[in-house]
Structure formats: C-alpha cells, structure tokens
Amino acid sequence: MSSAPGALQPDPSAIGGVQQPPFVRLPDPASLFRTRARRFAALAEDSQLQPYLLFLSGLADAQHEAQAGLPLPNLPETAEIERACTFGMPPLDRGRFAIDHVFEATLAGVLAHARTIDMPPAAAEALERVMQAEAAERETLARNVVTDSIPSDALAAHVFMAASLQIHFARMASRLDARQLGPVGDGVCPCCGGPPVTSLIVGWPSAHGARYCACSLCGVLWNYVRIRCTQCGSTKGISYQEVAGGDGTVKAETCDQCHAYVKVLYQDKEPSLDPMADDVASLGLDLRMREGPYRRGAFNPFLLGY
C-alpha cells in the first residue's frame, strides 16, 4: 500500500539491523574537483546548457590543478575547535574568514589555470578584473561569497572567487576530526555554518538510503533525517516534484511551512550524481518551481538568479 504524498516515513537508517550512518563525511580535495569536472562534462553532452556546463567543467579542473604545491591552510587552534564543537558551533566559522597567504596562493592558482578555459568575453573580462583587483576589492568579493550575498550585477567575478574559496575550505575541512562534529541547526553545515546546495540519498554500504546535506562551500556532507525540511526543520507538508518525464534521480523537496524547496539527488539510484554539478544541470526544475509558491532555499554560487 502506498503512502500519501508527503506522509512522514521512517528513516531507513533507524531500522533495526542497519548500521548507524556516520554523522559527517569530510571532503577529499584531491579527488573532489576532478570528479566534479568529469560530471560537469558528462552532463554537458546532451544539455541545452552545454557551453556553461563545459565552462564549469574547466573551472573544476582548474580547482583540482590549483592545489598542486599549495601550503597547508591554517586551522583554528585545537582548543578553539573543541570549544566550538562543544557548544554546537561550526569550527570553521565562515563569518570570521580573512584572506591570508595560503588563500592568496590558492586564488592565484585558480586564476592562472582558469585563463586556459574557453569562456565568453564577459567571463574573460571578469577573470581579468579579479586578477587585477586590489586587496580591498578581493576582500569584498570573498566576503560576498561567504555571506551568500553575491550582487546580481557582478556574478561572473564572484564565480572565480567562489571556486577558490571552495578549495580553501575543503582543504581545511578535510583536516578536521569528523568525530568531533555535531549538529548546529537545521540547514546549517556543522563544519563552516553554510547552507546546503542539495541533499543526497546515498547508497554507501554504511549508510544505504540515508540522507546527507551537501555544503556549498566546504564540501562536507552531513546526515539529515529524510522527509524533513532542510530549511526550517518541519516534517509537515513535505512533498516532492520533478520535471515531466524525469527519471526520479533529481527532485525538489518542497515545504508548505516555510515555502522553500531544496533539491534531493538520489545517488543510490545514480552514483555519479554530484551536489554542485547536478544542481546546475537541473536548472529546468528550478524554472518549473518558479511558477509555483516555493522559493529556492539552497545556495549555489554557480547557479544564481534562480
């Protein structure tokens, strides 16, 4: 017997005999961006967004290549990390980010590799702007990204800054002790305090069928109960929508309490799904959702304005 749409379902991870899934999975920067580049390229093959997806594939490759030879990023002091985790705060508080020599090297590497990407004139001009920017302007660009407040008239320049910040935060996150991290709030990354870009239903042996939110900045995945709004935490009025003729691997989870939606990617059905890449490639779903009462609740620096 099928359940009514939006009806609360038990979390598969809680069923007896199923191993408790880990709360977080830290990113592996050595493979994260290369894998993402390949996914962008694969998605571009039959997409109307092909030029943009290929650009993002090249940018993800630049993110991968830029890591070669970088010094290790500085982490907060051990006592500071422990204190943050004890009191339910993100240890890599994005609100306290400041550009240092490691990030400068990261940004320089991304910009240098990005110059080889085929891109429209507007993007090329934005790239040169970032390369020539004074310290104050770079601080402003970085601050806009970490506060999720990118102005619509300067999207292109922020794309390159966002790509660099993703590397920096992923490299920091990868060095944390996953066992220390705990929940800090609905829709909040337990590592850096950022919002999810999407959530995933995973097929991992240790967590088959469990749901993980994916951070748009540091790349951390954190376990989150299924059929629960990632924005407000409500379990009431949760429904799922997809484009006509969809294969069931990408859906919008809508909430009638806060009227937001965030996409759910069914990685247990298609393991190659990537939180960032498939969010961009499924723009058609966002366009459909704009026709209804729900607002987009996720943040993706590569998919703004929708």
**Are 110 and 21 members of one domain?**
no
The answer, yes or no, to whether residue 140 has pLDDT greater than 90, is: yes
**Are 90 and 102 members of one domain?**
yes
The predicted model gives 27-47 an average pLDDT of 97
**Tokens representing 45?**
């093959």
Q: Tell whether 6 is covered by a domain.
A: no
**Are 18 and 36 members of one domain?**
no
Q: Which pLDDT belongs to residue 10? A: 46
Chain segment 44-78, per-residue pLDDT in tens: 999 999 999 999 999 999 999 999 999 999 999 99
How far apart CA 275 and CA 267 sit, in angstroms, is 10
**Are 116 and 213 members of one domain?**
no
The answer, yes or no, to whether residue 17 has pLDDT greater than 80, is: no
**Are 204 and 139 members of one domain?**
no
Chain segment 203-234, per-residue pLDDT in tens: 999 899 999 999 999 999 999 999 999 999 99
**Are 81 and 127 members of one domain?**
yes
**Are 122 and 212 members of one domain?**
no
Q: Tell whether 167 is covered by a domain.
A: yes
Entry pTM: 0.91
**Are 59 and 18 members of one domain?**
no
How confident is residue 305, by pLDDT bands cut at 50, 70 and 90? Answer: low
Q: Tell whether 144 is covered by a domain.
A: yes
Query: Who wins on pLDDT, 19 or 123?
Result: 123
Strand residues in 71-144 grouped as ranges (E): none
How far apart CA 152 and CA 304 sit, in angstroms, is 8
H-run or E-run covering 142: helix 135-146
The answer, yes or no, to whether residue 7 has pLDDT greater than 90, is: no
Q: Tell whether 4 is covered by a domain.
A: no
Q: Which of 156, 173, 190 is the last residue of a domain?
A: 173
**Are 34 and 151 members of one domain?**
yes
Q: Tell whether 3 is covered by a domain.
A: no
Q: Which residues contact 42 (CB under 8 A, 6 or more apart)?
A: 272
The answer, yes or no, to whether residue 35 has pLDDT greater than 70, is: yes
How far apart CA 141 and CA 232 sit, in angstroms, is 29
**Tokens representing 205?**
């042996």
* 21 touches 226 (CB < 8 A): no
How far apart CA 35 and CA 202 sit, in angstroms, is 17
Q: Tell me the C-alpha to C-alpha distance, in Å, between residue 253 and each of 12, 75, 227, 260.
A: 18, 35, 8, 8
H-run or E-run covering 264: strand 260-266
How confident is residue 306, by pLDDT bands cut at 50, 70 and 90? Answer: low
The predicted model gives 277-292 an average pLDDT of 95
Q: How many domains does the chain have?
A: 2
Chain segment 184-207, per-residue pLDDT in tens: 988 899 999 999 999 999 999 989
**Are 157 and 198 members of one domain?**
no
How far apart CA 255 and CA 267 sit, in angstroms, is 22
**Are 226 and 264 members of one domain?**
yes
Q: Which pLDDT belongs to residue 304? A: 73
Taking the CB of residue 243, how many other CB atoms lie within 10 A of it? 16
Q: What is the CATH number of the domain that holds 258?
A: 3.90.1670.10
Q: 42 is in which domain, residue-wise?
A: 29-173
**Are 38 and 162 members of one domain?**
yes
Q: Which of 151, 173, 195 is the last residue of a domain?
A: 173
Q: Which of 173, 197, 232 is the last residue of a domain?
A: 173
